[in-house]
Structure 1
């Protein structure tokens, strides 16, 4: 795995991409130095007072697994997006193929269990259930669960119901997504060059 990623990083393709975003990384206020990010730091940021009425945060469940004590001690609503395993793992494999090889590793050669030791592939659903159970026991309000296929096929039906469940006024504009590079640069905060790099590669192809 490490050798494959090293070859990927050494490729002319990735060198060109990183050279392209190098100056943007230095100048972009949304890029956070990864050395500053820890569980306690993130918890502190989430607990800071803010003039904003609503903040949406998207994360992977396995990122907080075994560190549930760092969930923020502020009022929040948790939502789970679920997907059938056959679709979820197929999509994940498609992503990994392009993460390991910018030209796309051969489908048969890619084994998500062996090629992603950094990710608890076999326990994705078990970890989600663990957090869901924890929230049932510790939160006053039950988490919201959305099936991704319902969201993808009927967003005009699911999103209004979701916002109603959260007690947030819904706007028709929420059904539109401006996913341009400029929009991502302005709005998406993250660590390292991830913010700018992902929008220029095929890493999420197929998701």
Structure 2
């Protein structure tokens, strides 16, 4: 459902995005869980959102999410030898200047816009919002409340899993070995076997200038969604 280019209806029907939508809407399976990225569901792509589904948004304070993204992407670019000059120094690296993949809405506004779209278009009048810190702090309570809200079965086995790379090797992605090649982003998840408590949030004076600048631009979007989060 990602990277869809505007096409005529007949052309779109032949593309895999339309096929995924039709398969999801026609599924007779009792429980269907689908994951996607909000930045892949911007204006030209929303026609491929399946009907009849509840929508959930996992949010994270921009101070945390943008700082984490900055660290991961700087390390990824550095290992590939793609940084030069000021960009090659983590102290002077700048997301808006040096990261060609950084979303225009900093991966926060895109989430907010899709959340509003679902409500404005009455596709899902009450999308569920889960705050990442709530999930990490109270995983059992948050997951059980979430499952109850969407009609999924809950049991405590959801709180632990095997720390194995095998599941990542079998996941379908938009490129061969994509997940394995992005260990700077998924490495912690690959090695985990349970939910870890959230780390202490950095103070503003400890954050790089580009993280502060970008966070300030989208903080109101996060705060509005945070107010509607699933409370446990």
Question: How many corresponding residue pairs?
Answer: 170
Question: Take 2:2 and 2:140, find their aligned partners in 1: how far apart are those partners?
Answer: 36
Question: Take 1:63 and 1:38, find their aligned partners in 2: how far apart are those partners?
Answer: 6
Q: TM-score, normalised by structure 1?
A: 0.70
Structure 1 contact 97–106 (Cα < 8 Å) conserved: no
The reply on whether 1:108 has 2:85 as its aligned counterpart is no
CA deviations on 1:104-127 (whole Å, 9 max, x unpaired) are: 964214321122223325443322
Return the match for 1:44 from 19, 27, 39.
19
The reply on whether 1:129 has 2:112 as its aligned counterpart is yes
Aligned to 1:20: none
The alpha-carbon distance between structure 1 residues 84 and 146, as it changes in their structure 2 partners (threshold 3 A), is same
Aligned to 1:149: 133
Aligned to 1:10: none
Aligned to 1:170: 154
Question: Take 2:46 and 2:179, find their aligned partners in 1: how far apart are those partners?
Answer: 31
The reply on whether 1:191 has 2:166 as its aligned counterpart is no
Structure 2 contact 3–40 (Cα < 8 Å) conserved: no
Aligned to 2:208: none
Structure 1 contact 65–131 (Cα < 8 Å) conserved: yes
* Higher relative contact order, chain-length normalized (CA < 8 Å, sep 6+): 1
The reply on whether 1:119 has 2:102 as its aligned counterpart is yes
Structure 1 contact 80–144 (Cα < 8 Å) conserved: yes
The alpha-carbon distance between structure 1 residues 132 and 38, as it changes in their structure 2 partners (threshold 3 A), is closer
The alpha-carbon distance between structure 1 residues 122 and 191, as it changes in their structure 2 partners (threshold 3 A), is closer
Return the match for 2:34 from 57, 75, 78.
57
Aligned to 1:85: 62
The alpha-carbon distance between structure 1 residues 53 and 106, as it changes in their structure 2 partners (threshold 3 A), is farther
Aligned to 1:75: 52
Of 87-96 and 38-47, more deviation after overlay is shown by 38-47
Structure 2 contact 22–50 (Cα < 8 Å) conserved: yes
